[in-house]
């Protein structure tokens, strides 16, 4: 198969997966180049697809699961880039695009990594953590919370810098060979940190002052642009991207990472709860066809007039919808309350959580490889 044709098929696969929120193994198999037969290669490709936020499963997920994965229209550039990455998988048996596995296979060191191998994996862990922090910067009040906590460290009775964060992730520098994922740190790790603080002076106060001053300046600018142009505008999204770049390098200690992760995760949990109720009402009680529900519910999540529209069309499920209209509207109002409390749309809450999950998955996957290799 020609390289261009191979990349075109992979691009089509990625676009389809992003639009419908999932791929089946059959769909992946149908789009894989014929030369890809090695199990490790297939596993690597599926892992890369998962890292893009696309679930790969034996069959199409049920309605409730699909609701958690908003369909996402992929732009041409993103699809091209992802397809190119997948197409780069070597056809030689046992080869993968993963730099760590390539390194280990070429050097013949599976049981024990060298310093160079550790750095490769540590870089990937830190990239995942940066992705998480960048996503969190888009959630309302997250950056402000950390700035306020930083200011507390400047007060006489406030917390210390090392109580808030341990340093910075430099994408161009040498990483910590054993960086800690704040989402999976153990209590023992916390105890170790506490004992080390007696001899560790923590982050440089001068550098911290410069970084947090720049971060606060960008936050204020982002808020001004958002107030003028709206959150969904290109101008505002550009400023949020810059804010994320400044926020991403901060290596928060687990305690305060949990503080800022609580709001988006809690909002998503509330969304899932109400969407399951709505799905049960429409798909199970009213017997609305699955494809109809999936096509019409997005965009109507908090629209309490939607029930009236369903009733008025006199479809086979209309009478049942009428019987359960009160429960349907109640769940929709609760969804509306989630968005109102978060001050962003339901779809954006899901997108931010998706980005957080992808970053965490990248970090965990790399951390697992480091543990297994050692």
**What is the per-residue pLDDT across 220-243, written as a single tens digit (0 to 9) for each?**
999 999 999 999 999 999 999 999
Burial of 271 (0-12, 13-18, 19+ CB in 10 A): buried
Q: pLDDT band at residue 27, thresholds of 50, 70 and 90?
A: confident
Residue 31's pLDDT is what? 76
Residue 22, classed as helix, strand or coil, is strand
Backbone angles phi, psi at 97, to 5 degrees: -85, -10
In the chain, the domains with their CATH numbers are 3-97 (no CATH), 117-250 (1.10.601.10)
Average pLDDT value for the chain: 80
Tell me the C-alpha to C-alpha distance, in Å, between residue 139 and each of 16, 133, 134, 143, 260: 28, 10, 10, 8, 9
- What is the residue whose two structure tokens read 């957080």? 356
Neighbours of 171 (CB within 10 A): 12
Pair of tokens at residue 321 = 């919808």
Q: Is it the case that residue 326 has pLDDT exceeding 80?
A: yes
Res 53: pLDDT: 74
Write phi, then psi, for 95 (nearest 5 degrees).
-90, 150
For the residues of 80-148, what is the DSSP string, one character each?
A: HHHHHHHHT---STT--S-HHHHHHHHHT-SSS--HHHHHHHHHHHHHHHHHHHHHHTTSTTHHHHHHH
pLDDT of 329 higher than 80: yes
* Residue 179 zone, left/alpha/beta (φ > 0; ψ -120 to 50; rest): beta
- 189 pLDDT more than 70: no
Contacts of 226 (CB under 8 A, 6+ apart): 233, 236, 239
- What local confidence, expressed as pLDDT, does residue 111 receive? 43
What is the model's pLDDT at position 71? 53
Residue 275 CA to residue 374 CA, distance in Å, equals 43
Number of Cβ within a 10 Å radius of residue 164: 22
Residue given tokens 């190119």 in the structure block: 84
Average confidence (pLDDT) over 298-304: 94
Joined together, the tokens standing for residue 188 give 């023992």
**CA quadruple 147, 122, 240, 70: dihedral sign:** negative
- Quote the pLDDT of residue 79: 58
CA distance 8 to 247: 36
Closest CA relative to residue 273, chosen from 329, 339, 331, 328: 331
pLDDT at 352: 92
- Look up residue 304 and give its two tokens: 């309490």
| Mean pLDDT, rounded, for 206-225 | 97
197 vs 206: which has the higher pLDDT? 206
Summarize pLDDT for 165-174 with one digit per residue, the tens. 999 987 766 6
Q: Determine the average pLDDT of the residues in 280-284.
A: 95
CA atoms within 13 A on the CB side of 332: 19
pLDDT for residue 47 is more than 60: yes
Mean pLDDT is highest, among 55-69, 74-88, 182-196, 230-244, for: 230-244
- Band of residue 136 on the pLDDT scale cut at 50, 70, 90: very high
CB 138 within 8 A of CB 253: no
Q: What is the mean pLDDT of residues 188-205?
A: 58
Report d(CA 309, CA 315) in Å as an integer: 10
- 3-state class (DSSP) for residue 177: coil
Question: What is the DSSP pairing of strand 55-57 with strand 250-252?
Answer: unpaired
Q: Decide if 157 contacts 168 (C-beta within 8 A).
A: no
Q: What is the spatial distance between Cα 275 and Cα 278, in angstroms, rounded to a whole number?
A: 5
């Amino acid at each position: 198969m020609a390289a261009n044709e191979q990349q075109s098929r992979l691009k089509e696969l990625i676009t389809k997966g992003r639009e419908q929120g999932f791929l089946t193994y059959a769909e992946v198999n149908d789009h894989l180049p014929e030369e890809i037969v090695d199990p490790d290669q297939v596993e690597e490709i599926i892992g890369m697809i998962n890292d893009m936020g696309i679930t790969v499963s034996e069959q199409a997920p049920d309605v409730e699961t699909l609701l958690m994965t908003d369909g996402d229209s992929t732009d041409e550039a993103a699809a091209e880039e992802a397809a190119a990455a997948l197409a780069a998988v070597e056809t030689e048996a046992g080869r993968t695009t993963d730099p760590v596995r390539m390194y280990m296979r070429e050097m013949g060191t599976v049981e024990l990594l060298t310093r160079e191998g550790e750095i490769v994996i540590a870089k990937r862990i830190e990239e995942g953590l940066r992705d998480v922090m960048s996503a969190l910067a888009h959630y309302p009040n997250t950056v402000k919370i950390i700035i306020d906590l930083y200011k507390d460290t400047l007060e006489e009775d406030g917390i210390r810098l090392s109580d808030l964060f341990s340093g910075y992730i430099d994408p161009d520098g040498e990483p910590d060979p054993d960086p800690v994922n704040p989402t999976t740190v153990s209590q023992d790790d916390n105890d170790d940190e506490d004992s080390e603080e007696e001899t560790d002076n923590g982050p440089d106060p001068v550098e911290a002052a410069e970084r947090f001053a720049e971060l606060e300046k960008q936050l204020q600018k982002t808020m001004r642009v958002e107030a003028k142009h709206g959150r969904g505008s290109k101008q505002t999204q550009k400023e949020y991207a810059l804010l994320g770049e400044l926020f991403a390098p901060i290596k928060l200690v687990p305690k305060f990472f949990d503080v800022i992760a609580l709001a988006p995760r809690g909002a998503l949990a509330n969304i899932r709860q109400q969407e399951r109720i709505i799905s049960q009402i429409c798909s199970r009680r009213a017997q609305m066809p699955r494809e109809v529900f999936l096509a019409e519910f997005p965009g109507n999540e908090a629209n309490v007039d939607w029930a009236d529209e369903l009733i008025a069309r006199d479809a086979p499920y209309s009478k049942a919808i009428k019987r359960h209209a009160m429960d349907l509207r109640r769940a929709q109002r609760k969804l509306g309350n989630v968005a109102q409390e978060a001050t962003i749309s339901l779809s954006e809450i899901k997108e931010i959580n998706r980005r957080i999950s992808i970053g965490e998955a990248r970090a965990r996957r790399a951390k697992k490889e480091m543990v297994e290799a050692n």
